[in-house]
Structure 1
Amino acid sequence: MAARSSKRQDSECSTAPLADDIYERKACNSHCTLVVLCSVLAFFCAGLLAGLATMWVYFGQQIDQLRSAYEKLDLPGHGSDRWNITATVDEAVRMLLEQEEDQKAAADHTQVGPPIQTGWSPGSRKPMAHLTGNPRQNLRKHHGEVKLRSWESEQGLATLANGMKYRGGNLIIPVDGLYYIYSQLSYRFLNENPEEHSDKDANIFQLIHYTFKQSSYPEPQLIMKSSRSTCWSKRTEFGLYTSFQGGVFRLEKGDKVSISVSNAQMISFEESSSFFGAFMI
Structure 2
Amino acid sequence: MGPVMKWLVISVLGLVVVVLSIVLALVWSMPDLPTTIKHDTVCLPNEQGKLICGKTPRILHDYLMRVISNEYERIKQEDEERQQKYLDENRVRLMAIYDKYYWEMKPAAKVTGKELPDLREADVGQEMTPIRVWRHGRELYDTSGFLRYGIRYRNGRLVVPVSGTYFIYSFVDFFEPCSPTTGKPNISDANKPIKHGVYKFNILSELETEIVSNLQPHTVSGNRYFNSYSSYVSSLADLKAGDEISVKVSNLTYLKYTRDNYFGLNLI
Given the two structures, how large is their TM-score scaled by the length of structure 2?
Answer: 0.53
Alpha carbons of structure 1 residues 233 and 221: separation in structure 2 relative to 1, 3 Å: same
- Does residue 150 (structure 1) correspond to residue 133 (structure 2)? The answer is yes
Partner of residue 225 from structure 1, selected from 200, 213, 237: 213
> Which runs of 5 or more residues in structure 1 are unaligned?
1-97, 112-121
2:248 pairs with 1:253: no
User: Which has the larger Rg?
Assistant: 1
Distance change (3 Å), C-alpha of 1:268 and 1:128: farther
3-state DSSP of counterpart to 1:265: helix
Amino acid corresponding to residue 193 of structure 2 in structure 1: Q
Q: CA deviation at 1:223?
A: 1.4
Tell me what 1:41 maps to.
Answer: none
CA offset digits 1:230-281 (Å, max 9, x no partner): 1235971221111111111111111111111101110244332x11100111
Change beyond 3 A, Cα 1:202–1:146:
closer
Tell me if the contact between 1:212 and 1:258 (Cα under 8 Å) persists in the aligned partners.
yes
Matched residue type, 1:167: R
Other-structure match for 1:271: 259
Aligned to 2:199: 212
Gaps of 5+ in 2: 1-92
Question: Is contact 2:136-2:146 (8 Å) kept?
Answer: yes
Distance 1:137 1:124, change over 3 A: same
Q: Could you tell me how far apart the structure 1 residues matched to 2:164 and 2:106 are?
A: 10
Number of residue pairs matched? 162
Partner of residue 154 from structure 2, selected from 167, 180, 189: 167
Tell me: CA distance 1:148–1:227, structure 2 relative to 1, closer, same or farther (3 Å).
same
Matched to 2:248, the amino acid is S
Query: 1:176 and 1:128 mapped to 2: Cα distance?
Result: 13
Local SS of the residue matching 2:174: strand
Paired position in structure 1 for 2:71: none
| Counterparts of 1:138 and 1:147, CA distance in 2 | 10
- CA distance 1:277–1:253, shift in 2 (3 Å): same
Look up the match of 2:114.
Answer: 134
Question: Under a length normalisation based on structure 1, what TM-score does the superposition of the two structures give?
Answer: 0.50
Indicate how the Cα distance of structure 1 residues 163 and 256 shifts in structure 2: closer, same or farther if over 3 A, else same: same
Is 1:241 aligned to 2:224, yes or no? no
Does 1:189 find its partner at 2:173?
Answer: no
AA matched with 2:158: L
| SS of alignment partner, residue 237 of structure 2 | strand
SS in 1 for 2:217: strand
Distance (Å, rounded) in 2 between the aligned partners of 1:165 and 1:147: 17
C-alpha distance in 2, partners of 1:212/1:202? 27
Alignment of 1:51-70 (within 5 A): none
> Could you tell me which amino acid in structure 2 is paired with residue 133 of structure 1?
G
Cα distance between partner residues in 2 of 1:151 and 1:258: 11
* Higher-helix-fraction structure: 1
Distance 2:155 2:219 in 1: 33
Whole-Å Cα distance in 2 between the matches of residues 200 and 182 of structure 1?
A: 32
Cα pair distance change 1:131/1:202, threshold 3 Å: closer
CA distance 1:232–1:263, shift in 2 (3 Å):
farther
Alignment CA distance shift 1:244-1:137 (3 Å)? same
Q: How far 1:207 sits from its partner (Å)?
A: 0.7
Q: What is the RMSD of the two structures over their aligned residues, measured on CA atoms?
A: 3.1
Q: Do 1:142 and 1:262's aligned partners in 2 also have CA atoms closer than 8 Å?
A: no
